[in-house]
Structure 1
Amino acid sequence: MTWADLGPLLWQASTESAYMVGVSTVLTAVGGLLLGVLLVLTGRGGLLAARPVNLILGLIVNVGRSLPFIILLVAIIPFTRAIVGTTIGTSAAIVPLTVGAIPFFARIVETAIREVDRDVIAAARAMGASRAGIVFKVLLREARPGLVAGLTITVVALVGYSAMAGVVGGGGLGDLAIRYGYQRFENTVMVATVVLLVVFVQLIQTLGDLVVRWLSHK
């Protein structure tokens, strides 16, 4: 395969991977942030302490994190079909990507929020701040560097997950590597996809580090 033939394939696969990772990142950020905040609020000493609820949420997160992504892809095929009407393609791949990443990010969110100085929370309570005010103006605000760092790690993981989605026809660089690189023994395709994935990860990590550094100095 010549570079003239490979170029359009790499461009299409790259845009598909960017689409999968981009959409699943937004959904993961929303779902993981909500779940992580609930884990903190319902935990011992939390603003909405509820031990049974916390145990159920913790169990959901632990089960989600313990499943290898390749198994999750297959296990939730009926759910994926119910959501998007198909199990093949980039839109279908977004479902398992999001389901697999939300528990991962939720634990990171929980850890970042728990590292917020308890004295700051106590001071907000003493000043009569509402629960919502404490969550949005204290917990999330103080935890921003940790949250962004955690989201960066999650996005990097999503890039890897999106490549694995190619095994089941999810599209993107992983699908290109499987169909053209592995099945047709085109080493050039394999090398090109690996290089692009490395570039993606480096760009994401660099951008995330810059944002964390900026937030830490504010």
Structure 2
Amino acid sequence: MKSDFEIITKEKERWGKIYTDIYYAIDNISPFLSEDFLKRKKFYAKGKVLKDYMKLLEEEEQKSNKKGFFSRFTSPDEGKINSYKASNRETFTQLENCSKCACFNCVVECSFKTCTSCRRNSHIKSCDHNKLNVRVHDNFTLDLTNNDTGKEDKFKVLATLEDCEKDQEYIIIENIRDINDRYILYLYAGIKEDTYGEITDEDEFNFISQRFETLEA
């Protein structure tokens, strides 16, 4: 019984904070953004999933506190709670990342792709609102083949960057077996798969490298 109530308490503490942050953010930014731009933000469209989850937790907690005639208390329906989370797993992950994103409380109607280019388990870490933003990722890896050696290696994606002035995206990757083996490449997002290209302009390469190094520092 105690563990059942502890589960609800922990869930309310974790997701209750994110739920509160989301609706505070919506209230704060709504007066400054057009309805069309506001609707592009994923947490605006998907926040109801978390709202319904908080309602479910509250109902289960209240039900469990009611004393029955033949038994003292009824345990929370943990299966119902887990089922709801499982069926909305992607949305829960998305909303958690939204709460950490630089776009979360932003009131600038910028030219970045922002939410439309958001990948699973990612969020924008840094944004200057005009030219460049930097997106970080969790558990995003690529299997790439070296064109010179023909050898395939697995790379961890450290960040993707968007330059909205050039309408160009970049990707920074690191060899999982050798942290000194890093690459900065052009990123061309595709419907079925992404493609990559070599950056030949030294100034452009250095600019992207410096922006990422500033984030790492």
Q: Using structure 2 for the length normalisation, give the TM-score.
A: 0.29
Larger C-alpha radius of gyration, 1 or 2?
2
Which structure exhibits the higher relative contact order, with contacts defined as CA atoms closer than 8 Å and separated by 6 or more residues?
1
Q: Higher helix fraction: Structure 1 or Structure 2?
A: 1
Q: Using structure 1 for the length normalisation, give the TM-score.
A: 0.29
